Amino acid sequence: MEVNNKMKHTIKVAWAKGFSQFLALAGAILLVFVLFKFDAIMAQIVRIINILMPIIMGIVLAYLINPMVEFYDRKLSNSLGKVIEKKRGKKTSMRGVSILISLAIIIAIIVVLIMMVVPQLVSNITNAVSLLPDQIQDFVKKITELAKNNDKAKEIITELYNNGISYFTEWVKNNMLGQVTFVINGIMGIFGTAVNCLVAFIVAIYVLLSKDTFKRQIKKLVSAFLPEHHIQVLSSILKESDKIFGGFISGKIIDSLIIGAICFVCCLILRMPYVALVSVIIGVTNVIPFFGPYIGAIPSTILIMLDSPSKGVLFLLFIIILQQVDGNIIGPKILGESTGLSPFWVVFAIFLGNGLFGVMGLFIGVPTWGVVYYLIKRYVNYRVRKKEQTHC
């Protein structure tokens, strides 16, 4: 009997060892395949993401709206829900009403912002485009006046000007059809985005309404394949990931709205040109960590300088002060240590996200790397504790 048990144990150990070696070999082969076919695999992943984009947008929207829905659900359940329960004699869910209120508030905010910003934005862009030729001409005149007493400089400037005109004329001839196609594609793209946004809103409503059902289904699925200890670990990881990702994204959106509003008010007080346009640029680019303020400040400053160099310098000084206030006071108050990343890892995450996912990577790179960093730190701490226990 003892011999049989020994044989069974030996076979079990050998099988486990062989299976581990097989998994390691399969993993190595898979890694080599992925490395050699990386571009093709990424192209297919991007294609699938594009197909599912409305669904993804809806899930993201539901994720962002969920805290607001939970807030109204609690408030309504404790007030209106109890009144209805007394009348009907049974508990009534307030989730549907909470979702409608949350979506109505978000839509109202978007509509108000559009009504406030878009007319000024269109006016600013129209003015900028209409004034640009005159501003360029004034700039050329100033350069010409400076070079009036220098024949060589005058000759170089005249040659550059003539070459520029010739190049522009040739470019218009050769690229006009391409530009028309680009405009048509742009219009179709706007229409497609509008449809995607509508579908995303519908998906978000379904996801929020079916949240509890989805949670039960996922728990059941996980319970079928994982032991209780692993389920607890997975639950802990998901909670922390939600805290990192959700806290960063919602905090950054609030922070950027505040910065955009401060920029708008201060630019009005300072009588800056293109107030709405530069405020939108500063607010939107502020969502990008670390580099965002610089990405927004450079084109905004150039645009204002074309109208008034002195105001351009004043705007640049204002933005530097505003970003210092944001970085040291507003940002830390709203975001806190949501990602747990040092400045080095923030820069690393931005470059990695941009390299892998383009513009979208600039926005989600930091919270995504924050989650990865947390997982690595958690695993390293686990290994260290295990090693210490072994030595003890």
- 63-81: per-residue pLDDT in tens? 888 888 888 888 887 777 6
Q: 89 burial class (0-12, 13-18, 19+ CB within 10 angstroms)? A: exposed
pLDDT band at 239 (very low <50, low <70, confident <90, very high): confident
Backbone angles phi, psi at 272, to 5 degrees: -80, 150
Is 150's pLDDT higher than 60?
yes
pLDDT digits (tens, 9 = 90+) for 83-93: 666 666 666 66
Domain assignment present for 80: no
Query: Cα separation of 368 and 63, whole Å?
Result: 15
Instruction: Give the residue ranges of DSSP H helices in 147-227.
Output: 151-209, 211-225
Is 3's pLDDT higher than 60?
no
pLDDT band at 31 (very low <50, low <70, confident <90, very high): confident
Query: Cα separation of 272 and 265, whole Å?
Result: 10
- What integer is the mean pLDDT of 10-27? 66
pLDDT (0 to 100) of residue 130:
73
What is the extent of the structural domain holding 323? 229-340
pLDDT band at 181 (very low <50, low <70, confident <90, very high): low
Query: Cα separation of 171 and 165, whole Å?
Result: 10
Domain assignment present for 295: yes
Distances (CA, A) of 106 to 10, 68, 111, 305: 64, 10, 9, 36
Q: Which helix (DSSP H) or strand (DSSP E) does residue 342 occupy?
A: none
Domain assignment present for 137: no
Is 234's pLDDT higher than 80?
yes
Domain assignment present for 209: no
Domain assignment present for 266: yes
What does pTM read for this prediction? 0.64
pLDDT (0 to 100) of residue 281:
85
Distances (CA, A) of 360 to 50, 63, 351, 352, 356: 13, 17, 12, 11, 9
Cβ(65)–Cβ(103) below 8 Å: yes
Query: Cα separation of 156 and 167, whole Å?
Result: 16
Domain assignment present for 144: no
DSSP 288: S
Q: Per the structure, how many domains does the chain have?
A: 1
- What integer is the mean pLDDT of 140-155? 67
pLDDT (0 to 100) of residue 75:
81
Residue 309's nearest CA partner among 142, 78, 91 is 142
Among 42-46, 55-59, 79-83, 321-325, the minimum mean pLDDT is found in 79-83
pLDDT (0 to 100) of residue 317:
92
pLDDT digits (tens, 9 = 90+) for 242-277: 888 878 888 888 888 888 889 989 999 988 888 888
Backbone angles phi, psi at 270, to 5 degrees: -80, 0
Query: Cα separation of 92 and 147, whole Å?
Result: 81
pLDDT higher for 188 or 101? 101
Domain assignment present for 70: no
pLDDT (0 to 100) of residue 256:
87
Q: Which pair of tokens denotes residue 92?
A: 């009534």
SS (H, E, C) 100-140: HHHHHHHHHHHHHHHHHHHHHHHHHHHHHHHHHHHHHHHHH
Query: Cα separation of 375 and 387, whole Å?
Result: 18
pLDDT higher for 238 or 189? 238
pLDDT (0 to 100) of residue 357:
72
DSSP 330: I
Query: Cα separation of 147 and 141, whole Å?
Result: 10
Domain assignment present for 247: yes
Distances (CA, A) of 93 to 75, 96, 198: 12, 7, 26
Cβ(361)–Cβ(354) below 8 Å: yes
pLDDT higher for 14 or 322? 322
pLDDT digits (tens, 9 = 90+) for 283-311: 888 888 777 778 888 888 888 887 788 88
